[in-house]
Structure 1
Amino acid sequence: MPLLFTIEERFDASPEDVFRLATDIDAFGDWMPNFVRVEKLTGAVVGKGAMWRETRKMFGKESTELFEVTAAEPGRRLDLFVDGQKGTTGRGAYRFRYVFEPEGAGTLLKMEGEIAGMGWFMETLGRLFIGSFKKAVHGDLKAMKTHLERRRAS
Structure 2
Amino acid sequence: MPIPTITATRTINAPPERVWAAITDIGNAPHMLTCVLDVAVLTQDEFGVGYVWSETRRMFGKDAAETMTVVAMQPGVAYTAEACNFGARYISSFQVDPVGSDATELTFTFAAESVASARWSQRIMMRIFGSIGKRATHRMIETDLDDIASYIGRHG
Partners of 1:112 and 1:61 in 2: CA distance: 22
Going from structure 1 to structure 2, the CA distance change for 1:148 and 1:44 (only over 3 Å counts) comes to farther
The corresponding residue for 1:136 is 140
- Greater Cα offset, 137-146 or 31-40: 31-40
| 1:4-153 to 2 correspondences below 5 Å | 4-43=5-44, 45-84=46-85, 90-104=86-100, 105-117=102-114, 119-126=122-129, 127-152=131-156
Q: What TM-score does the superposition give when structure 2 sets the normalisation length?
A: 0.86
Partners of 1:34 and 1:51 in 2: CA distance: 19
Where has structure 1 moved over 4 Å in runs of 4 or more? Answer: none
The residue identity in structure 2 corresponding to 1:47 is G
Partners of 2:139 and 2:18 in 1: CA distance: 24
User: Does the 8 Å contact 1:52/1:66 carry over to 2?
Assistant: yes
Secondary structure in 2 matching 1:46:
coil
Residues 125-147 of structure 1: per-residue CA shift (max 9 Å, x gap) = 12222011111111011101101
5+ unaligned residues in a row in structure 2: which ranges?
Answer: none
Going from structure 1 to structure 2, the CA distance change for 1:59 and 1:135 (only over 3 Å counts) comes to closer
Secondary structure in 1 matching 2:112:
strand
Partners of 1:44 and 1:29 in 2: CA distance: 20
Q: What TM-score does the superposition give when structure 1 sets the normalisation length?
A: 0.87
Partners of 1:36 and 1:112 in 2: CA distance: 21
RMSD, matched Cα: 1.7
Secondary structure in 2 matching 1:8:
strand
Residues 101-126 of structure 1: per-residue CA shift (max 9 Å, x gap) = 11112111112221101754223312
Determine what percentage of the aligned residue pairs are the same residue. Answer: 25
Count of residues in correspondence between the two structures: 147
Partners of 1:111 and 1:34 in 2: CA distance: 16
Quote how far apart the aligned CAs of 1:59 are. Answer: 4.0
Partners of 2:66 and 2:123 in 1: CA distance: 22
The residue identity in structure 2 corresponding to 1:106 is A
